Amino acid sequence: MIDGLIVFVAQYLFFVLPLLAAIIFFRLPSGERKKYFISLAIGGICAFILAKLAGLVITDPRPFVSEHLVPLFSHAPDNGFPSDHTTFGTTLAFISFFYARKWGLVMIPVAILIGAARVFAHVHHWSDILGGIAVGLIAATIAVSLTIIVAKNLSRRHNGGEVHVL
């Protein structure tokens, strides 16, 4: 029973995060929707690049490889650092937090819970999860910051130098 719950959270709860992001998207005012979408796109790209770079710098064999544990579901025996699920989950959650605080406060613990379940499923170490949280936070910060900068610059061009954010 517990193993089944761990597997569900580790493998399938992740899909709730994009669903919540879609709900946020449709609840935001039109101008904020554009910025949210742009932030999500930039955040996804940044998270992907940063995760690949982090994985090149830090190698962490998965627990079922290094500690000879039996994983609760099959997984490739590749580098576990950083956790992709945690990286993308926290990127989505942190960006969402910036645009819709209450929803973000729900999404952040969900993303972390997914990472924890992946530790209990023996496919990640805690360091992989912490690395994913760090990469997600960095990617989200870059994405939101770039979106704000781009929005201000576009607004200036369209309003003769006056600053109006999209």
Read out DSSP for 49-70?
HHHHHHHHH---B-HHHHS-PP
pLDDT per residue as tens digits for the range 42-100: 999 999 999 999 999 999 999 999 998 999 999 999 999 999 999 999 999 999 999 99
Give CA angle at 44 (40, 49), nearest 5°.
150
Domain chopping of the chain, boundaries? 2-158
**What is the pTM for the complete model shown?**
0.90
Contact 32, 93 (CB under 8 A): no
Q: Calculate the average pLDDT of the chain.
A: 94
Which residues does 45 contact at the CB level (< 8 Å), separation at least 6? none
Whether 114 shows a pLDDT value over 80: the answer reads yes
Whether 28 shows a pLDDT value over 90: the answer reads yes
Which residues does 8 contact at the CB level (< 8 Å), separation at least 6? none
Closest CA to 31 of 157, 124, 154: 154
**Section 23-48 average pLDDT:** 96
Classify domain 2-158 at the CATH superfamily level. Answer: Phosphatidic acid phosphatase type 2/haloperoxidase (1.20.144.10)
| Residue 31 pLDDT | 85
